[in-house]
Structure 1
Amino acid sequence: MSVEPVEKAERTTPLVTTLAAAATYFSVAPGVRLNVRSGPGTGYPIVKSLPEGSRVQIHCQTPGTQVTGPYGTTNIWDNIASGQYVSDAYVNTGSDGYIRQRCS
């Protein structure tokens, strides 16, 4: 009995990149427990705190209260989830400006 080699099958389905796979996460400033607020400003209630070493995904950005932090002084607030905002002054985005679309 002889065995014939089987040729490698060609890929017939396209590769798909999902949003989850393409998501970009940004580091919160080292040594910081970051307050997450219900809106883009220090006058909004704190909904939770992120532990040291956290990374966040930024969905959109919006202007709000001006804050000074490890990454400068800014009025940009990052939306990290529905009803959850952090000051961009504490997130290492590599930019002093907007890196995402404005929140609507």
Structure 2
Amino acid sequence: MVGAATAEATTVRYYAVAPGYQLNVRNGPGTSYSVVRVLPEGAKVPVYCQTPGTTVTGPYGTSNIWDNISNGQYVADAYINTGSDGYIADRCS
């Protein structure tokens, strides 16, 4: 990825969106934020940081954690297979 390489990006892992789901990507950590794009079924996303936001129920439980997958782009963690119900990345600042 051009322009995405940073010192902290060296440890970024990619996580799968829940099977069978297309996932809204929003410009903030909550359902009240605008949808900026939709991830297709089978997508994998990086999680750069995580932050609390709107509580969402998805295939991986109910959570208020939102994952930052790009600059100004967030997805509900309840739809991402991180293997954890808690935080797996630093809090967004």
Could you tell me the TM-score, scaled by structure 2's length?
0.89
Q: Which residue of 2 aligns with 1:80?
A: 69
Match of 1:38 among 6, 27, 33: 27
Deviation at 1:19? 6.1
Distance 2:48 2:36 in 1: 18
Deviation at 1:23? 3.2
Q: Which has the larger radius of gyration?
A: 1
Unaligned 5+ runs, structure 2 = 1-6
Could you tell me the TM-score, scaled by structure 1's length?
0.79
Over aligned residues, Cα RMSD in angstroms?
Answer: 1.3
Distance 1:98 1:85 in 2: 14
Q: Which residue of 2 aligns with 1:50?
A: 39
Deviation at 1:21? 6.0
- Amino acid of the structure 2 residue aligned with 1:97: G
Higher relative contact order (CA 8 A, sep 6+): 2
| Alignment pair present for 1:29 and 2:18 | yes
Unaligned 5+ runs, structure 1 = 1-17
Distance 2:91 2:8 in 1: 19
Q: Aligned with 1:89: secondary structure?
A: helix
Deviation at 1:24? 1.0
Among all aligned residue pairs of Structure 1 and Structure 2, give the percentage whose two residues are the same amino acid.
Answer: 67
Q: Is the 8 A contact 2:12 2:48 kept in 1?
A: no
